[in-house]
Structure 1
Amino acid sequence: MGSQHANAPHYFVPGPSKWPVLAGATLLVTMAGASAWVNGYGWGPVANIIGLLGFLVVLYKWFGDAIAESESGLYNSRIDVSYRWSMSWFIFSEVMFFAGFFGALFYARAVTLPWLADLDHKLLWPDFAAQWGNTPAGTIDAYNKMGPFPIPTINTALLLLSGVTLTISHHALRAGERSKTAFWLFATILLGAIFMGFQVYEYMHAYSDLNLKLTSGIYGSTFFMLTGFHGFHVTLGAIMLAVVLYRLMKGHFTPDHHFGFEGAAWYWHFVDVVWLGLYVVVYWL
């Protein structure tokens, strides 16, 4: 949301919209294409890309309508409360999403490993030890685990610093200093982009030098699923902040009413907190 109008006399309810059904249709095409792609059908990649591009267009138009409604004065404080609750529940759903992956990691390490190494399984894998990253001999190609230095530690510093720059930007917006707001917001986006560059390099290093792949047993699958989905969320958060920066440069937001900025900031801080958990659990333990 941008500049809200507390004096709007009603709770704005938009008219019938084509965007929800179009979003569902494009997502259906996207997932059908992805399913066909992984199963070796030639039309899969094309359908996946067409569906994804269509979904992005729908999001652009849909959010554009919401921004236009906000800037035209149709939103009031009641709408602001609705947006805050909606964003809060969305972030809660993301917390549960990552909780599922952290739970899978915990189960694999605390339950499955000791079970595979107990007396009942010594006949199957006599040399297997219950140490995270070990796999029974002959089951998959040998690989090396990913340590916390140097890239993961650098990325941790980058994300923590981005949280600081975003907070500075937010305080500048509340003080009415738009140029300062834009500068520190751009710095936050840049730090996120550098983070993703380092993660791409880390993945290249994992595949080429460590032979660590998505198929490297439970260690490889949990490593890439957790860090990969987090990287996707960093990318999504950077896009959200870039849209906020564009709107800021267009003159949207006021010191008192700027939930569009705050919602994106909440998401970015959530991504920061998730990374701290990943950094400790995935790279150190």
Structure 2
Amino acid sequence: MKKYNPFHLVELSPWPILTSFSALSFALGVIIMVRSFNVYPFLISVVLLFYASFLWGRDVHREGCYIGEHNYEVTVGFKVGMILFILSECFFFLGMFWGYLHLAQLPSIEMGGVWPPVGIEPFDPSGVPFLNTILLVSSGVSVTWCHHSVEKGDYYHSVLSLFITVLLGMLFTCLQGLEYYVASFTFSCSAYSSIYFMGTGFHGLHVIIGSILLMKCLFRLYFLHVSPNHSVGFECSVWYWHFVDVVWFCLYLIFYWWGV
């Protein structure tokens, strides 16, 4: 059928609906794991989510690399969609910052009238949180180095810098898990602990997602599937990683440094 517009008409695909149901089962699996200590529904949902997302991404990659459906108008649409998604995530974290600052400025009598509440020992901002800040800032530098290397067609430095970025993201995730392990409070101890685990936990989830996206880009770079003229997926992943960096800097200043 002849097209009368420059946009790509998406063909029928089972992966969007399967990915949606997998994401729903993932959320239900987390609830079951927390409430009933049954980890199997969670693991099954993770496998299904990764499988459906991988196949969906594979088809999109084929459309762009081999069929040539991703022209200028289509790539602009991808970039605008990513910008709007990041903007929605900004408001998501803004709500957490707003809640934290509201509780900090007006601590209730039940919390002892102070912030952090009585009995809560917050983390030292000059310890692991500061190290994590250095790691994420360094990863922002390395991913920018990778971006410039891709634009110049420098294959070696683009792969090296992106590998460093993924490694720094994995180190950040490990240190964040260690911080949770040694925490002197739990999610249900107080309003402080709830908002702390909520904010840092969702940011950690974004770091994991960003690391997976950059790892996928690393494989594509290795197999020469990313070039200066074909890098919209890579650019969107870099934008997402910079967003993760900025959010962590705000988390560090508000949750760790200002909050104590």
* TM-score, with length taken from structure 1: 0.83
Q: 5 Å matches for 1:76-95?
A: 76-95=71-90
Match for residue 51 of structure 1 among 45, 54, 58: 45
What is the alpha-carbon distance in structure 2 between the residues aligned to residue 33 and residue 205 of structure 1? 25
Pair 49,252 (structure 1): closer, same or farther in 2 beyond 3 Å: same
- Does the residue aligned with 2:230 lie in a helix, a strand or coil? coil
- The CA deviation string for residues 81-132 of structure 1, in whole angstroms up to 9 with x for no partner, is 1100111111111111111211211221123x1xx34xxxxxxx6xx75321
- The CA deviation string for residues 137-193 of structure 1, in whole angstroms up to 9 with x for no partner, is xxxxx3311120211111111111111111111111111101110001111111111
- The CA deviation string for residues 234-263 of structure 1, in whole angstroms up to 9 with x for no partner, is 111111100001001111122233111110
What is the alpha-carbon distance in structure 2 between the residues aligned to residue 33 and residue 198 of structure 1? 25
Unpaired runs of 5+ residues, structure 2, are none
Q: Look up the match of 1:12.
A: 8
Match for residue 248 of structure 1 among 201, 215, 221: 221
Whether 2:24 is the aligned partner of 1:28: answer: yes
Match for residue 61 of structure 1 among 55, 72, 94: 55
- The CA deviation string for residues 15-69 of structure 1, in whole angstroms up to 9 with x for no partner, is 11111221232233333333444443x8x53333222211211100001100011
Q: How many residues align?
A: 253
Amino acid across the alignment from 1:257: H
- Does the residue aligned with 1:16 lie in a helix, a strand or coil? coil
Q: Look up the match of 1:120.
A: none
Whether 2:157 is the aligned partner of 1:180: answer: yes
Amino acid across the alignment from 2:199: L
What is the alpha-carbon distance in structure 2 between the residues aligned to residue 234 and residue 30 of structure 1? 18
Percent same amino acid among aligned pairs?
Answer: 34
Shift of 1:219: 1.1
Whether 2:216 is the aligned partner of 1:220: answer: no
Pair 94,150 (structure 1): closer, same or farther in 2 beyond 3 Å: same
What is the alpha-carbon distance in structure 1 between the residues aligned to residue 208 and residue 117 of structure 2? 32
- Does the residue aligned with 1:253 lie in a helix, a strand or coil? coil
Whether 2:78 is the aligned partner of 1:101: answer: no
- Does the residue aligned with 1:61 lie in a helix, a strand or coil? helix
Whether 2:140 is the aligned partner of 1:163: answer: yes
Match for residue 273 of structure 1 among 223, 246, 258: 246
Q: Look up the match of 2:232.
A: 259
What is the alpha-carbon distance in structure 2 between the residues aligned to residue 183 and residue 23 of structure 1? 32
> Quick check: 2:104–2:116 contact (8 Å CA) kept in 1?
no
Whether 2:108 is the aligned partner of 1:131: answer: no
In terms of fraction of residues, the more helix-rich structure is 2
- Residue range with higher mean Cα deviation, 263-272 or 218-227: 218-227
Pair 68,201 (structure 1): closer, same or farther in 2 beyond 3 Å: same
Q: Look up the match of 1:122.
A: none
What is the alpha-carbon distance in structure 1 between the residues aligned to residue 32 and residue 244 of structure 2? 31
Pair 245,29 (structure 1): closer, same or farther in 2 beyond 3 Å: same
* TM-score, with length taken from structure 2: 0.91
Whether 2:120 is the aligned partner of 1:143: answer: yes
